[in-house]
């Protein structure tokens, strides 16, 4: 069972505002303290150290997964794209609001995928503000653009039954052979239900330009 996120931060002695480098440093320091090789003469302590290192690594994975989504999502929420021309390609786009009951999502946010399927990104009941990330790749050699349809509704039903929030197109993609592009798309929802979307090329670390219909 995965270690709870709060426990993971506590184990690494980190706050939610920590950076990825902070997490890496914390794991390294704890590994120096709990490395099993430090207890060659005590089998009991060595066994405890093995378990401790395992928990430290699990906590590190949980924390870094969270931070990789949290940092860009906070940037999206802090820098809305409403001031830019709606047809312009930019680093962030915003879509119309999804229903909330002031503290939680009243429907699931997702994507329409092949076969009229609803691919959930954030589920009904998620506490707002919230964010999630999904990694996309290119389906064709040297694909220049990728379009997704963002929807909200009941994730258990077909996509055609959901409300469409808009189509988002990622443009000027890096020229890569099929399957070699790794683009992380962050979906962030603020406390008013506004959806902000931005993407990063995972290989270069550069933002990917995005536009809406």
94-152 pLDDT, tens per residue? 887 888 887 889 999 999 988 789 999 988 988 888 888 889 999 999 999 999 999 99
Q: Would you list the domain boundaries of the chain?
A: 5-71, 92-212
Q: At the topology level of CATH, where does 5-71 sit?
A: Helix Hairpins (1.10.287)
Average confidence (pLDDT) over 35-47: 93
pTM, to two decimals: 0.67
Q: What is the dihedral of CA 51, 55, 57, 62, to 10 degrees?
A: 160
Pairing relationship of beta strands 163-171 and 207-212 according to DSSP bridges: antiparallel
The tokens describing 120, both together, are 């959930």
Query: What is the full DSSP assignment across 124-189?
Result: TTPBSSEEEEEEE--SSTT---EEEEEEEE-TTS-GGGSEEEEEEEEES-----TT---EEEEEEE
Mean pLDDT of the chain: 86
CATH placement of domain 92-212: 2.60.34.10
Q: What is the pLDDT of residues 65-76, one digit of tens each?
A: 778 776 666 666
Q: What is the mean pLDDT of residues 50-68?
A: 89
């Amino acid at each position: 069972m995965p270690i709870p996120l709060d426990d993971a931060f506590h184990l690494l002695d980190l706050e939610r505002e920590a950076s990825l480098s902070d997490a890496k440093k914390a794991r390294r320091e704890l590994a120096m303290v709990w490395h099993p090789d430090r207890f060659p003469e005590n089998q009991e302590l060595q066994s405890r150290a093995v378990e401790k290192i395992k928990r430290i690594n699990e906590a590190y994975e949980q924390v870094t997964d969270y931070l990789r989504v949290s940092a860009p999502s906070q940037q999206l929420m802090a820098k809305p794209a409403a001031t830019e021309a709606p047809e312009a390609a930019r680093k962030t786009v915003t879509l119309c609001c999804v229903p909330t009951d002031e503290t939680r999502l009243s429907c699931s946010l997702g994507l329409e995928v092949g076969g009229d399927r609803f691919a959930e990104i954030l589920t009904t009941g998620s506490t707002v503000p919230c964010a999630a990330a999904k990694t996309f790749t290119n389906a064709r050699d040297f694909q220049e653009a990728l379009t997704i349809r963002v929807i909200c509704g009941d994730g258990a039903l077909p996509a055609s039954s959901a409300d469409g929030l808009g189509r988002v197109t990622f443009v000027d993609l890096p020229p890569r052979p099929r399957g070699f592009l790794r683009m992380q798309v962050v979906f962030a929802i603020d406390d008013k239900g506004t959806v902000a979307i931005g993407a990063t090329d995972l290989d270069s670390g550069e933002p990917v330009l995005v536009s809406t219909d």
